[in-house]
Amino acid sequence: MKVLITGVAGFIGNHLAYYLLTCGYTVVGIDNLNNYYSVQLKQDRLSRLTNTNFTLHISDISDTSFLLRIFSDEKPDIVIHLAAQAGVRYSLENPFAYTKSNIDGFLSVLEACRKYPVKHLLYASSSSVYGGNTNYPFTEDQPVDHPLSLYAATKKSNELMAHSYSHLYRIPTTGLRFFTVYGPWGRPDMALHIFATKIVNSEPITLFNHGQMIRDFTYVDDIIESISRLLQLPPTINDSYNTQTPVPSSSWAPYRILNIGNGNPVLLIDYVRALETSLGVTTCINYAEMQPGDVSFTSSDTSKLANLIGFRPDTPIENGIAQFVHWFKNYYQ
């Protein structure tokens, strides 16, 4: 079985490639190694993928002609699309980076899957699509029509684009709404990495919304386990789908949306305290107003995921943060 992963030098993509290679899959990776954050970190992640069943292509997914050549040459069975311009706050500074990568890039992937049919296309959506919803926990059948950032809007757009291709060309697609993923090899712009760096440098950290932020923190290994179980469970055509009472998370087409989250929301200050404990250092905390585009609370209902794959993410933050700190100390000396 050959799996193509876009964003293979990224946080989740690299963990997934590493795991699938150990499971005996052939993995084709695509990444443009852009400088949104440390290129060295991306290269160090890639250095872990020394398996002979791994092939790397340095390319931008928005380069449609090059992407089509890769699909033509490699003929993947399954595609996992994780490449994207990440970050909510960066979308306020550089919005066009999001349309290029998250919209144009995803369209290129869809076109490649149309011209070179695959058994299953899985792609990264985000818990940010829930936007202004305050009905907790978030379920896949809630409306997601009020995004609070351009990043969230592009992820919602991906879900709509995927549905159109599932309907028109019968491409089996699964959208994965990730909830605040953390762990070893994480991005430097993520909260855990920022907090750890400041704490070890004896600098104060800032908690927004006066510390009343609550997040459904999900350990990266739980994400990888979920994806690996979903790979060979593509959605199928549902001829009995009721269009009079439509359900947003599924369709008459081979299409589905799934939450992947821990399901145990944590107050951000408790997350910080767990980090202090693992580092053996306490820190000074500054409190500030909510940032534009941010949400105060996320919480996932993962019943659909558990019913489908027999697994539910459940790693406690104390365990996940301890694993992150172990990597952080070793990597940064």
Q: What is the pLDDT of residues 186-223, one digit of tens each?
A: 999 999 999 999 999 999 999 988 888 999 999 999 99
> What is each CA distance from 156 to 146, 151, 193, 235, in whole angstroms?
10, 9, 27, 19
Instruction: Please answer whether residues 186 and 195 qualify as being in contact, where contact means their C-beta atoms are separated by less than 8 angstroms.
Output: no
pLDDT in the model for residue 164: 98
Q: How many other CB atoms are found less than 10 A from the CB of residue 28?
A: 24
**278 band by pLDDT with thresholds 50, 70 and 90:** very high
User: What is residue 274's DSSP assignment?
Assistant: H
State both tokens at 66: 């090059």
pLDDT in the model for residue 87: 77
Is pLDDT of 173 > 90? yes
- Tell me which residue of 96, 175, 179 sits closest to 130, measured CA to CA: 179
Greatest alpha-carbon pair distance for the chain in Å reads 60
Is pLDDT of 72 > 90? yes
User: What is residue 205's DSSP assignment?
Assistant: E
CA 262, CA 253: separation in Å to the nearest integer? 28
CA 229, CA 233: separation in Å to the nearest integer? 8
Q: For the segment 88-118, what is each residue's pLDDT rounded down to a tens digit? A: 778 888 889 899 999 999 999 999 999 999 9
Is pLDDT of 140 > 90? yes
Is the pTM higher than 0.85? The answer reads yes
pLDDT in the model for residue 89: 75
Write out the catalytic residue numbers. Answer: 151
Instruction: Please answer whether residues 219 and 12 qualify as being in contact, where contact means their C-beta atoms are separated by less than 8 angstroms.
Output: no
User: What is residue 209's DSSP assignment?
Assistant: G
Spell out the CATH class of 2-182+218-262+299-314.
alpha beta
pLDDT in the model for residue 105: 96
**290 band by pLDDT with thresholds 50, 70 and 90:** confident
State both tokens at 330: 């070793």
Instruction: Provide the percentage of residues in the chain whose pLDDT is more than 70.
Output: 100
**293 band by pLDDT with thresholds 50, 70 and 90:** confident
**12 band by pLDDT with thresholds 50, 70 and 90:** very high
State the average pLDDT over residues 148-158.
94
Instruction: Please answer whether residues 127 and 259 qualify as being in contact, where contact means their C-beta atoms are separated by less than 8 angstroms.
Output: yes
Q: Could you tell me how far CA 167 lies from the centroid of its own chain?
A: 24
pLDDT in the model for residue 10: 97
For Cα atoms 252, 112, 129, give the angle at the middle one, nearest 5 degrees. 55
- Strands 214-215 and 266-267 come out as antiparallel
Structural domain boundaries of the chain? 2-182+218-262+299-314
Instruction: Provide the percentage of residues in the chain whose pLDDT is more than 90.
Output: 90
pLDDT in the model for residue 294: 82
Is pLDDT of 242 > 90? yes
pLDDT in the model for residue 292: 81
